[in-house]
Structure 1
Amino acid sequence: MQSEACKALLKQGYQFFSPRSSAALKPCMWNKRTLRGGDMCYKAQFYGIESHRCVQMTPTLKCNQRCLFCWRSMEYEVVEEEECPPEVIMERLHPLQKKALAGYNPVANSVVDRKLWEEALAPNMAAVSLSGEPTLYSQLPRLFDLLNDAGFTTFLVTNGTRPDMVRKCSPYQTYVSLDGPDEETYQRVCRPMEDSWEQVTESLSLLGSRRSAIRITVVKGLNDISPEGYARLIQDAGPLYVEVKGYMYLGYSRNRLTRAHMPTHEYVAAFANEITKYCDYEVYDESPVSRVVCLTRGE
């Protein structure tokens, strides 16, 4: 699998689990920043996740939405010839993470702390969230079972279009994206390949029975409307957390949106506070550098 799209992703630091699948991992910038002695990401602040011990991965790069705010390329997609078995993903997880972080070996990089480096080579967190829609991978429940059995804390990040698969998976925390307060906004911003609004709302209905979060990506001028609509959906779903996060003007999203669509943290915080006026959630924490506000239910 050496398409132009694949070559471009390899240059960006993607590590593929097998030559015929699109299963891949890539350490995020917070992982590398932590190794250099910098701050951890907001997941450390909100949930106690250590950034340098986190594997950011996906079992497939396929997606059934074309979200305007997505940073991935939709014009040059990796074509998946076959699924990578969960057992192969588990077998290659540690070696590929080590390969991806090779430039941060303290022997060659004097700013990297050896203790952090050794911990990074023994990751204990798997964020199934790199790119694509993981619930399109038919063996996802088995993958989570293997990750959980291996002692990983697991996050599933999904667009909610496959509630049947969400129901079968057992991650430590389930994220469902909610990027519109109503069906019309969702269709316009997320551009699903099928009529999926009912499936998204069904996925939301599963969140109250598990450790979960709703993630709202705020795109200024597109979906920053009807805070009461978001609040109603949040209230009905009952997740443990709600992340209200600003769109970032990055990657291929710059071909679809402008810098004006990227809200400031103050704008995001104001919108999050508007949502809290219509439900029993309140601000739990916030990270200005990531332009994200975390809500949770009041006492």
Structure 2
Amino acid sequence: MPSTPCDARIRQGYLFFSPKSSAALKPCLWCKRALTGGDMCYKHQFYGIDSHRCVQMTPTLRCNQRCLFCWRSFEHEVEEEEECPPETILAGVPKLQKKALAGYNSVLGNTVTDERWQEALKPRHVAISLSGEPTLYSRLPELVDLFNANGYTTFVVSNGTNPDMIARCRPFQQYISLDAPDCETYERACRPMGNAEAFWDRIRESLGKLRAKRSAVRITLVAGVNDTDPEGYARIIQDSGATYVEVKGYMYLGYSRNRLQRNNMPEHAQVRDFAERVSASCDYTIRDENPLSRVVCMEREEQ
């Protein structure tokens, strides 16, 4: 039988919560590194999140953008027959995370301590950021509330194109991507599946809802594509009132290598310089940075 898009995802390490939906889980590199005693990701450094206890997942692989810098494959689109119920996702998180990490317990006492393994089997953080656009999942607010009620710390990473859904979600920290200082650059970098001006207006609306939340604006900086007009970014960020701003360099990984070149990946010094120029034009100051991940974190100054 011919392979299906889901087959391709499974080969990439995705584990699905149900056979008819595209809700999926896949531990990130940092989770596995932390489990074996290595470095944790910058979320540990910036926000205190233990990487080996963090689940990377998505309630849907559907997306309404085709960003140049996205690591996912647009050639392997997954068609959903039905949405996965929030209760099924909640129940499946520890089971699928354990399955995904199977094998690491075989090196207990060597590279993996028993304490860290036991902690990994009881994840406490959920990053809804694996792939796809989570606000296209109609029950996202319900799912986030369910995670929150069961003691999970939730991070929702969105492209901001569904402001009504953003308004209804109550995660521990809400991310909105801002990958352009203007509509023209947005259309070129993010390639929306619809009217670019309408999408851009929705993103600006979503950003305007961040002031009332613990939130972060995420800028993925792609050299030669969207690394212009830091003052334009600053004006938008200032209006958003987000708690944090992360300026993160594009990484030349996955299927993005079919669309971009290695020289589109900025060095950390370039990321830092751009963040400094953004900071100079708004009320956000550089709080921390992680050169390994090529990311700089800025925080809103106390008013």
Q: Any residues of structure 2 matched to 1:121-140 within 5 Å, and which?
A: 121-140=121-140
SS of the counterpart of 2:292?
helix
SS where residue 98 of structure 1 aligns? helix
* Post-superposition offset of 1:3: 4.5
1:196-207 equivalent positions in 2, closer than 5 A: 196-207=199-210
For 1:131 and 1:107, locate their aligned partners in 2 and report how far apart those are by CA, in whole Å.
30
In structure 2, what is the Cα distance between the partners aligned to 1:73 and 1:204? 27
Q: Secondary structure at the match of 1:199?
A: helix
TM-score normalised by length of structure 1: 0.97
**Aligned residue runs from structure 1 range 248-259, under 5 A:** 248-259=251-262
Superposed, 1:100-119 pairs within 5 Å as 100-106=100-106, 110-119=110-119
CA contact (8 A) 2:172 2:214 kept: yes
Whether the 8 Å CA contact 1:61–1:132 is kept in 2: the answer is yes
> CA deviation digits over 1:3-44, x for unaligned, max 9?
432122212211100011000000100000001110100000
Query: Equivalent residue for 1:225?
Result: 228
- Paired with 2:144 and 2:280, the residues of 1 have a C-alpha distance of 36
Q: 232, 237, 243: which one pairs with 1:234?
A: 237
1:216 has 2:219 as partner: yes
Pairwise mapping of residues 104-183 of structure 1 onto structure 2 (< 5 A)? 104-106=104-106, 110-183=110-183
Structure 2 unaligned spans of 5+: none
Paired residue secondary structure (1:43): helix
Match of 2:297 in 1: 294
Tell me, in whole angstroms, the C-alpha distance in 1 between the residues paired with 2:12 and 2:95.
18
Per-residue CA shift, 1:255-285, capped at 9, x if unaligned? Answer: 1000010000001000000101111111000
Aligned residue identity for 1:165: M
Moved over 2 A (4+): 2-5, 106-110
- The answer as to 2:270 corresponding to 1:267 is yes
Structure 2 residue 285 is matched with structure 1 residue 285: no
Task: Find the aligned partners of 1:266 and 1:174 in 2 and give their Cα distance.
Answer: 27
Between the aligned partners of 1:170 and 1:3, the Cα distance in structure 2 is 38
2:242 and 2:57 map into 1 onto residues whose CA distance is 24
After superposition, the Cα gap between the structure-2 partners of 1:79 and 1:3, relative to the gap in structure 1 and judged at 3 Å, is farther
Q: Please show how residues 27-46 of structure 1 align to structure 2 within 5 Å.
A: 27-46=27-46
Q: Equivalents in 2 of 1:76, 1:250: separation in Å?
A: 16
Match of 1:193 in 2: 193
Identity %: 64
